[in-house]
Chain A
Amino acid sequence: MFEAAGVEASKVLGLFWPLLAGAAVIWLLVVGGTFYAMRIRPERHSERFGRRLILIGGVIAPTLILAGIAVASLRLMADLRTAPADFTIRVTGEQFWWRVQYLDGQGRVTMETANEIALPNGSAVELELRTRDVIHSFWVPALAGKLDMVPGMVNRLLLEPRRTGTYRGQCAEFCGESHALMAFRVRVMEPAEYRIWLEHQRTDAPPPAGEPARRGHDRFLGYGCGACHSVRGTPATGGVGPDLTHLASRARIGAETLRNDHRSLARWLESTDVVKPGVRMPAFGMLPAEDLELIASYLEGLE
C-alpha cells in the first residue's frame, strides 16, 4: 500500500502516517514513564499524584485523542467507495483463480478474461464481486482495501487508479489448499492504450499459425479441453475454467503461479496438481508428452 496508485489507497496511507507518529509518541511516554519508575527510581510520588495521572493520562487525554480518531475515521469511511462509476467489471472468485467479465451499461458481459484486469488511468471503476464456491477476498494493496466475495452476496468495490503501472493483487481470505497461489494483476493504462487493449480482447482468437500450433489446436479440441475452456472463434465454449481466447497476452498462467511460456504451459498441463495442489483442473500427465507439447504450442499462439 506504500506505492499507493489509487484514490482509496492514498487516502488511507494519508491517515496512516499521522497515526503512526501519534502512536510512537504515546508509546514513548507510557514506556518511558514505566522505565523512569523502575530504573531511575524517583522519590515516591503521592497517591494523589497517581490518581491524577490516571485521570489525565488514562481518561481525559485518551478520550480526546480517541474521539478525534473516531471522527476522522468515520468521515473517511463515509467518503470512500461512494463516487459514481464509469463502468462495471464483474470479478468472480473461484478455487483458485479469478474470472473477469467486462460489463456494458445493461449488465451484459461484453468480454471475458481471467486473472488480469486492465483499467484506464483516471477512471472510477465498479467491481462487482461474486464467488462461485467459497469465500474469497479481492485485494490490490496499491489501489484500495480488500472486499470479500461471499456466497449469496454481491459486493461492490470502487477502484480509482491514478497512476499507470502493473499492480499485484492476491486473495486475502483463506479459500482452500492453494489459497497462497491465487493472485492476479491489475494493469493501469493510459485511456488510449486501454481502448486498444479492450478492442483486442473482444476479438476472437487468432487462427493457429504454423504446423505445431495447428496440430495442437486439433489435440486441444480432440481431448475435449473445450468442455471446460472457451476459445472464442472455435468450437471450445466451456465455461468452467478460465477463458483462453487471448491467453498468450497475459503475463503469467495459473493465477500468477507460473511464467507464461512454452515450457511452463507444458508443465502445467502435465501436472497441475503438483504446481497447484488442490486445483480443480485435472493433470494430463497420462497423455503423450508430444501432444502436451503441441497443445502448449497452440496456447502460446493465442495472442
Chain B
Amino acid sequence: MTRDAAAASDRDAERRASAERLLDAWRAPSGWRYWSEVNNTEVGVWYAATAFAFMLYAGVLALIMRTQLAVPENDLVSANTYNQLYTMHGTIMMFLFAVPIFEALSIIVLPNMLGARDLPFPRLSAYGYWCFLIGGTFVAGSILFGIAPTAGWFMYPPLTTQQEGVGADVWLLGLGFIEIASIAASVELITGVLKCRPPGMGIDRIPLYAWYVLVVGAMILFAFPPLIAGDLMFEMERAFDWPFFDVARGGDPVLWQHIFWIFGHPEVYIIFLPTIAILAMIVPTFARVPVVGYTWIVLSAAGTGFLSFALWVHHMYAVGLPKISQGFASTASIAVALPTGIQIFAFVATLLAGNVIVRLPMLFVFGCIAIFVAGGLTGVMVAIAPFDWQVHDSYFVVAHLHYTLIGGMGFSVLAGVYYFFPYFSGRMLDERIGRWVFWLIFVGFNVTFLPMHYTGMLGMPRRVFTYEAGLGWETLNLISTAGVYVIALGLALFAFDVFRPRRGRPYADRNPWNAGTLEWLIEMPGQPWGVRSIPRVEGRYPLWEDPELIAKVDAAEYYMPDAPERTRETLITSVMEAEPMQCMRVSGPSFLPLIAAAFTGTSFIVATFHLYTWAVITGALAIAVILYWLWRDTAPIPRHDERDIGFGVRVPTYVSGPRSCGWWGMFITMLADVTAYLTLVFSFYYYVAINPSADRSALTLPFLWPFAGLLLSVAVAGAVLMLRRRGVSGPRGAGLLTLLALLGAVGAAVLMVGPAEAAIAPTSHALAAMVWILLGWSAAHVGLGVLMLLFCAVAAVTGRLDEKHDIHLWNIEVYWYFAAFMATLSVLVVWSLPVVP
C-alpha cells in the first residue's frame, strides 16, 4: 500500500466516523419518544400535515354550506348551524391553514435553502406547533358540539359582545393563542434568515423565498399584535364588562373594525406573498435560468408589505366614514396592484428568458397565474369605493377573495407540494394523477366561483343561510354547488396520492428538477443532518454555478462536517456578509415544549369557560415549565471556547449580545409586543377623540404612585445596563440581581395603586377601562421582567452566568428597555389626560 493510498483510506475512515457522529447528533428518537423531536424537518412536516388536515376539514364545512345553498329555501341545516359553518370555514382557512402552511413549509425548507442544519430556536418551533395543534383542535372541534362562534371570522361587535354562549370566547381565546404561536414562528424564521446563512451568502444572494420570509415575518410582527390587543379588549368586555365597544359608555364598535382590519388586510398579503415566494423558486427552475428582475421582485415584495398596512379602510367603505378616508384607502388599494403586477411580470419575463420545461409544478403555476390575475383585476374593481358600495358583502366579494386566495395561495401551495415532495419524502408524486388533480380543481374552481361574481351583482349578500325562490339566483347557485363537488373530487385524489403508502417504490434522483438552490443538496431520502457539510456560496444559484457542489458537500469538503461532541450544532453568520461568527449549539429532543404547550393551551381553554382559577394555575404551570426548559439547556456554557469548522477557520462557540441569535430573537419579539401595546395607546386616543365631552376629572390619578412605578422601572432598566456592562457573577451578582428584582416587583405593584386609590371603575367608561388596561399591561411586563431577573440571579449563583457568559443578561436588558418604555409611556399618557386640555 502506498502512503497516498493509506492516507486516503485514513481520510475515508475519518469521514465515516464523522458522518456517524453527525448522525448520532441529529437522528430523531424512535418509538414514543419520537414526539419529543424538535428538529425542523420533523416539526415542519407535522405542522404541514396538521394544517392540511384543517384545510380538508374546513373544505368539508364548505361542502355542507354549498349543499344547503344548492336550492332556495333549503332546510338541510338550520340557520344557527349555517352561521357556525361559515364562521368556522373562514376562521379555519385563514388562521389554521393559510398562515400556518406558510410557516410549516418555511420551517421545512428554509434551513436547507440556507444550508443550515436547523433553525436557531428548535424548541420554539416545537412549542409553536403544539400550541397550534391544541388551539386549532379546540377551535375547529367546537362546531361538533354546536358551540362554535356564529358571527363571522371578523366578529363585529355589538353582535358578538352581546351574544350569549361561549362561541365568541372560543374564537377570541383559541385564536389569540394561535396568533401567539404564529408570532413565535415568525421570530424564528426572521432570525433564521438573518443569522443562519452559509458563508458567502450575502444579503444580495439569498434565495427569493428567504426574502419573502423576511417580508412576511415582519408583516406578522406588525399585523398580528394589533389583533392580540383587540382580542384582549374584546375578551375583557365579554368577561368583565369593560365597555370598549359599547356606545352607551363611551366605547365604539367601529374601533374594533379598525383594529381587526389593520390586522386583517396585511393578513391577506401575509397569505398571498409566500405563494409568490413558492413561484419564485419554481419558475427559474423550470425556465432553466436565474430569475429575471431579482431586485425588482425584492423591492416589490417589500412595497406590497408596506402598502398593505395602508389599505384596511377598504374593508370599511360601507361603514359611512368620511369620503376623504375612503378616497385615501381607495387610491392606496388601487396602487397596491402595482408591486403585485411587477412580481407577476417578473415571472413571465423569466419564463420568456428561459426554455420552459412543463412538469406538474409548472402546470399549477400556470393555474395560479390565470386565476390570481383574474382575482387581482376584480381587486382593482372593489378598490374603487363607489363600486364597492354596490358589491361589498355580496357574492361578488366571495368570488373575488376566492380567486385571490385559492388562485394565488391554493394553486401555488399545490405547486409547492408537487415541487418539494421529493424533498420531504425522497419520492415523486404521480404525474398522471397530478394532471387529473390539476384539471379537476382548475375546472371545478372556475365553475364554482366565476358565476358568483354575477350572483353578487344580482343582489345576493354573503353569509345568508338561504334565499328566496324566484329572485333569479337558483341556477347560479346550483352551478356553484356542482363546481364545489368537482373541487372536492380533485382534492380527494390529491390527498390519496400524497398519503398512500410508497414503501418499496424507488427514490427520486438527486436534485430531481435540476434546480439551482441549496435545498436540493438534500439526499434522497433526506438525512437528518440536512447537509453533510455547509458549503461556501458564491452566487444566487450555487448548484448551477458549481456542478461539482453536491459531490463536494457529500464528501465533507466544506464547513462543519463533524459533530465532535455528538451534539447538534449549526453555523451562525453575520447579517449582511454572512461571514462565520459562531458555531451554535442547538437543542435536541425534549418533551418540555409539548408539556409547556399543553399547559398554555389548557390555560386558554379553561378561561373560555370562565374557570379563571384553573386558568391562572395552569398558566403558572406553563411559565414554570418554560423556565425549566430555559434553565436546562438554553445557551449552555460550552466545553471549548472555540471550534475549528474547517479550512482552519476557528469560530467561538459562545457569543452574546447582538452577535447572538438569542438577542435578535428577544429584540424581534419585543417589536411585536410593543406593537400590541401601541395599539392600546392608539385606542386610548381614539376614545379621547370620540368622547370630547367625557368628564376627564373622574380619571384623575394621584401623582405619587404612577410616577413611583415609572421611576422604579426606568431605574431597574438602567441598573441592568450597568450590571451587564460591568459583568456579574457569583453570590454577589445574584444579590444585586435579586435586589433589582425586588425593586421591579415594587414598581409593578405601585403602577396599579393609582387607579385603585382613585377608585376608577373600569366598567364605567371606555376611557376608565383604558386606564386600567394600559397600566395593567405595563405592570404585567415589569412583573415578567422581575421573573427574568430572578432567573439570572439563580444562574449567577450556580455559575451559569458570569462576566464572559452573559447572554441572559444581554437578553433581559433588551426586554427591560421595552418594559421601561411601556411603563413610562403608559404613566405619561394616562396621567396627563385630565391635566392636558
Contact = CB atoms under 8 A, between A and B. Distances in A.
A37 B356 contact: yes
12 contacts: A2-B457, A19-B384, A34-B369, A44-B353, A47-B353, A54-B349, A74-B331, A76-B386, A134-B159, A134-B162, A155-B320, A177-B79
Interface stretch (A98-106, A135-143, A225-233): A135-143
A27 B389 contact: no
A64 B296 CA distance: 19
B292 A27 contact: no
A35 interface: yes
Interface in A15-52: 15-16, 19, 23, 26-27, 30-31, 33-39, 41-42, 44-47, 49-51
Interface string B358-398: 10001000100110011001101101111111111110000
Nearest to B319: A148
Given A34-B369, A51-B292, A168-B471, A152 B252 contact: yes
Interface in A154-207: 155, 168, 170-181, 183
A83 interface: no
Interface in B446-477: 457-459, 461-468, 471
A70 B350 CA distance: 30
Contacts of A41: 355-356
Closest 6 A-B residue pairs measured CB to CB?
A145-B389, A58-B345, A50-B349, A180-B464, A50-B292, A152-B247
Given A19-B387, A53-B348, A66-B338, 13 more contacts: A12-B387, A23-B378, A44-B289, A44-B353, A50-B352, A62-B341, A66-B335, A76-B386, A145-B390, A146-B390, A148-B318, A177-B83, A180-B465
A73 interface: yes
Given A77-B330, A153-B254, A46 B353 contact: yes
Given A1-B459, A33-B348, A150-B320, A49 B386 contact: no
B678 interface: no
Contacts of B459: 1, 139, 141-142, 168, 170
B320 to A, nearest CB: 4
A34 B342 contact: no
Given A26-B377, A134-B158, A38 B358 contact: yes
Which one of A9, A11, A66, A78 has the greatest number of beta carbons of chain B within 10 Å?
Answer: A66
A118 interface: no
B253 interface: yes
Contacts of B385: 73, 77
Interface stretch (B111-119, B138-146, B149-157, B824-832): B149-157
A293 interface: no
Contact of A174 (B252, B390, B463): B463
B393 A53 contact: no
B236 interface: no
A211 interface: no
B344 interface: yes
Contact of A54 (B296, B323, B387): B296
A31 to B, nearest CB: 5
A77 B355 contact: no
Given A49-B352, A69-B384, A171-B461, A58 B80 contact: no
A26 B377 CA distance: 8
A145 B330 contact: no
A57 interface: yes
Interface of A: 1-2, 8-9, 11-12, 15-16, 19, 23, 26-27, 30-31, 33-39, 41-42, 44-47, 49-51, 53-54, 57-59, 62-63, 66, 69-70, 73-74, 76-78, 80, 129, 133-135, 137, 139, 141-142, 144-148, 150-153, 155, 168, 170-181, 183, 256, 277-278
B327 interface: yes
Contacts of B387: 12, 15-16, 19, 73
B156 A174 contact: yes
Contact of B342 (A58, A147, A152): A58
Nearest to B467: A180
Contact of A2 (B247, B374, B386, B458): B458
Contacts of B380: 19, 23, 66, 69
Contacts of B351: 34, 37-38
Nearest to A152: B247
Contact of A57 (B150, B345, B370, B390): B345
A66 B369 contact: no
A262 to B, nearest CB: 21
B393 A173 contact: yes
A177 to B, nearest CB: 5
Contacts of B378: 23
Contacts of A73: 330, 334, 383-387
Nearest to B86: A174
B348 A12 contact: no
Contacts of B343: 58
A69 B151 contact: no
B354 interface: yes
A179 B466 CA distance: 10
Which one of B162, B348, B374 has the greatest number of beta carbons of chain A within 10 Å?
Answer: B348
B326 A33 contact: no
A62 B337 contact: yes
B463 A179 contact: yes
B718 interface: no
A8 B390 CA distance: 9
A36 B354 CA distance: 12
B78 interface: yes
A63 B303 CA distance: 15
Contact of B390 (A62, A77, A141): A141
Contacts of A50: 292-293, 346, 349-350, 352-353
Contacts of A27: 373-374, 377
A74 B318 contact: no
Given A73-B330, A150-B319, A51 B381 contact: no
Nearest to A140: B459
Contact of B381 (A9, A23, A46): A23
A54 B345 contact: yes
Interface in B787-830: none
Contact of A70 (B334, B391, B468): B334
Nearest to B345: A58
A74 B78 contact: no
Contact of A53 (B289, B352, B370, B386): B352
B234 to A, nearest CB: 15
B340 to A, nearest CB: 9
A172 B463 CA distance: 9
Contacts of A145: 318, 386, 388-390, 392
B9 to A, nearest CB: 47
B60 to A, nearest CB: 22
A181 B75 CA distance: 14
A172 B461 contact: yes
Nearest to B463: A174
A66 B332 CA distance: 11
Given A15-B384, A133-B158, A174-B152, A58 B323 contact: no
B318 A146 contact: yes
A25 B608 CA distance: 52
A168 B473 CA distance: 13
Nearest to A80: B386
Nearest to B288: A44
Nearest to B328: A74
Contact of B293 (A42, A51, A141, A177): A51
B320 A174 contact: no
Nearest to B290: A47
A264 to B, nearest CB: 14
B801 to A, nearest CB: 53
B693 to A, nearest CB: 14
Interface in B69-122: 78-80, 83
A34 B366 contact: yes
Contact of B389 (A12, A31, A46): A12
B655 to A, nearest CB: 41
Given A66-B380, A146-B389, A172 B318 contact: yes
A5 B354 CA distance: 53
